[in-house]
Chain A
Amino acid sequence: MKQKLNTFKNITTIVLSVFALIFVVSCEEAFEFDLPETGSIADATLPSANFSTAPNPENFKIIKFTNASSEATNYVWDFGENGVVCDTTTVNGVHGVIVCGDESTSTEIDVSFVKFNAGEGDYQVTLTALDANNASGVQTQTVEVRDVFVPINPIVINGNMEVGFTPSWNIEAFTDGTKTPPNTSSDGSPIDYDEVDTGSKTKGMKFAASTSNPANAGSRRYAYQALTVSPTTVDRTVKYIVEYQYAIKVAASAGSNITVQILDGHFNDGKDALAASVLTTSVASELLGKGVFTTVKKEFTSNASGLISIWIFGDTDQDAYIDNVKVYPKP
């Protein structure tokens, strides 16, 4: 029995030793001559960073960055202390509203909206392109942020008053009033729309006593035309000029006038136009006589929507004329 136990002991010892030997030897010895990188090929194509930029068409302070790096998988953008990364979200059902955070770095491939709040200037932007081996390429570019804003130059249809005023100068409907536009007239300004003096009178728009009496609202006539201009936003104030020429017969009683207004919005019903908020009002009241035209220019600031309308009416007991109505960006 003792002998048996001894044998068993020996066998156990031997087996354990062999196991131990295998454990010790297996890893070390089996791969003794194989280095971990055996058979791998060095990465010959290393990342190179590059990008292009384009300004946002609606806001010059916002720049779009498009990645043009090659042989890379990860990217780190650094827009410097002046640039913040923005994104578009939906606010109150309006899609594509740009909301800016305070981060000036990003790891996205492309960054579509980066705002440089300081406005015009040159900013350093750095892109680091990395591959999976953490090899990297870096490029720094100077991004020129410039305001090349060109405001919309609206076209006033039939602004020279040469043809009939429907459909150019009439309002579509008029609750408690008339939608008939003012009268046409052959006694307009001798100056053409392009400011060339023709020497003889052109056609114009006429407000007669019967069509411009505030006491008779039902037959008082209004000229209306909807326009679209560049809106004024938080980042930019856009100023426009409304210009026209007028003449009022000398015989008119003092205080007779033609009023030109720029209204906030577009309207279908004259009643709503009368109640609308007004961006600017210009009252022309000099009584210099028929055929003697005076040019008036009035500045106004566009509204947030960019939708405005011209609204013209008279308050006169003798014929009054208006011609060459223009709206253009303030030079």
Chain B
Amino acid sequence: MKYFHNLKYIFFALSVAVFTSCDIDEFLNPVPDTAISADSYFQTDADVLSGIIGIYDALQGVNENTESNNSDFNRGVQFEYLLTEHRSDNTRSATLEGSRADFHRYVTDANSIQSEDYYQSMYEIIFRANSVINYVAAADASNIAKYTAEAKFLRAYAYFNLVRLYGSDDDTIGSVPLVTSVVASNEVELLFTRAPKSKVYEQIVEDLQEAVSTLDNSYKARASRGAAQGLLAKVYLSQPSPNASGAKSLCEAIIAEATFSLEGNFSDVFYNELNNEVMFVIRYDFGNENESQGFSSEFTSFNRQGRQDGLNIVNPNLIAAFVANGGNRTAVSYTAFGDDADLPVPQAAEVAKFLPDGSDVTTDSSLPTYGTLPRDAGNDWIVLRYADVLLMHVEATLGVSGATSTSDSNALSSFNAVRNRAGLANDADGSITQEELLLERRVELAFENQRFFDLLRFGVADTVLQNHSAEDNDEDISVYPSYNARKLLLPIPSREINLSKGLLNQNPGY
């Protein structure tokens, strides 16, 4: 009985111990033992580095060959040609079947799976970048600045794509939600309020400036100073009030530093990976379905290798531009098969810049072959290359002068360098107009998802695309009556609007 008598003291002592040792916050929000959360993950420098690599993983996108389900699979850049090239006058889908065939006809609606996926993919990059920036303190002190700058470069890249595709110029509508910190899913005001376009551009510029001043040129497949300079130059030229002189000095800095140079052979730009010309690429591994890309196979049609009947099929009016101004770029850029191979201007030609390993499209024009694993292609995606910077240098020089043409000797030497590499003579009259520059960019950077943004930046998108879709345009084989100026913006995906519970508004015309 004596024990029982003491027992109440033992209970008392135990309860005191329990109460004093219990940190209420940790007790109610325990860090799980069996799952990894962001809070517990970032402990060492290696963890932060793997977080950085995780952002590149989001950037790379998921090959469609891994998972046939269409919805929300973070395809990212592997769908980008639909949202850009297809919506310019460059390319189209071979058939009218499925929502991928909506883009080139300007009938994409807010339920488009591809647009929704791309939108989400870009925010996936942004959220992963925000997460790394938030937990970067766990890294070695000497690496903190570098890691932060790298994450910010990638965040800027994603916002730059989003703001150009979805962002309205009209501040009462807004551009895209601007999220620059780790947010919880209940912070709906922050997640679903579209910031003014100028605000988003301010953030992009700030992030890229940090990348320019912090990074070096060690990598081509990871953020580098050169890539940040080049991307920032393009941002300066694209923003609502362009900063042409800023873009010009950035291009001049890249040219003067001579880290990058034009490949002598145009084909090597695409088939000699990590060559001297590329400045920022997204890498893929051939044959590894988790690290490969699917777009190379989607670009085939005559002997189709992809899941569709052929995407990014070249429009006749682009081929006409190649015939007149392509030089030796023509044969590298596209090929035609069967009856089309004999036409001076093929009606249906296929992109040849990203043929999968083992392809042979030249031996027999009626039987092209594409190697063993075309759907797991390893061709890198080129985000930025030196020729683009040289032509941006001309564009910035034109912008600074404010005139309709320029005879500036530095601009001419940049322009002629690109022409000469293509086997073409120097510019004939020694004066470059905006039209000449736009044409040069069109053939040099065809199928690299630049044309649509170029048209926007040069302020001629509506005129060119109106003409492209018009009934009396005999250079093109199709008519797209659904086109109007509102189609220059994609709709905000319905899924986002539904998740926002009515907070997000829609773009005009959708």
Contacts and interface: CB of A to CB of B under 8 A. Distances in A.
Interface stretch (A11-19, A41-49, A175-183, A297-305): A41-49
Given A48-B172, A48-B173, A50-B170, A68 B486 contact: yes
B503 A70 contact: no
Contacts of A54: 462
Contact of B505 (A41, A67, A68, A70): A70
Given A48-B172, A48-B173, A110-B484, A67 B501 contact: no
B485 A44 contact: no
A109 B509 CA distance: 9
Contacts of B509: 67-68, 109
Interface in B456-507: 462, 472, 484-486, 501-507
B484 A44 contact: no
Chain B interface secondary structure, helix, strand, loop or mixed? loop
Interface string A127-149: 00000000000000000000000
A124 B508 CA distance: 22
B506 A45 contact: yes
A110 B508 CA distance: 12
Contacts of B505: 45, 70-71
A44 B502 contact: yes
B485 A66 contact: yes
A69 interface: yes
A52 interface: yes
A69 B502 contact: no
A48 B501 CA distance: 19
B502 A43 contact: yes
Given A50-B170, A68-B170, A70-B173, A44 B506 contact: no
A54 B462 CA distance: 10
Nearest to B486: A68
A70 B508 contact: yes
Nearest to B173: A70
B42 to A, nearest CB: 37
Contacts of A52: 485
Contacts, number: 43
Interface residues of B, number: 18
Interface residues of A, number: 18
Interface in B173-208: 173
Contacts of B172: 48, 50, 70
Contact of A70 (B462, B472, B502, B506): B506
A52 B502 CA distance: 27
Interface string A86-99: 00000000011000
B502 A67 contact: no
Given A48-B172, A48-B173, A71 B506 contact: yes
A295 to B, nearest CB: 29
Contacts of A43: 502
Contacts of B502: 41, 43-45
B404 to A, nearest CB: 13
A68 B501 contact: no
Contact of A44 (B168, B173, B486, B503): B503
B507 A70 contact: yes
B486 A41 contact: no
Given A48-B170, A71-B505, 4 more contacts: A41-B502, A70-B508, A71-B506, A109-B509
Interface of A: 41, 43-45, 48, 50, 52, 54, 66-71, 95-96, 109-110
5 closest residue pairs by CB, A with B: A45-B505, A66-B485, A68-B508, A70-B508, A44-B502
7 contacts: A45-B506, A50-B172, A67-B486, A68-B485, A70-B170, A71-B505, A95-B472
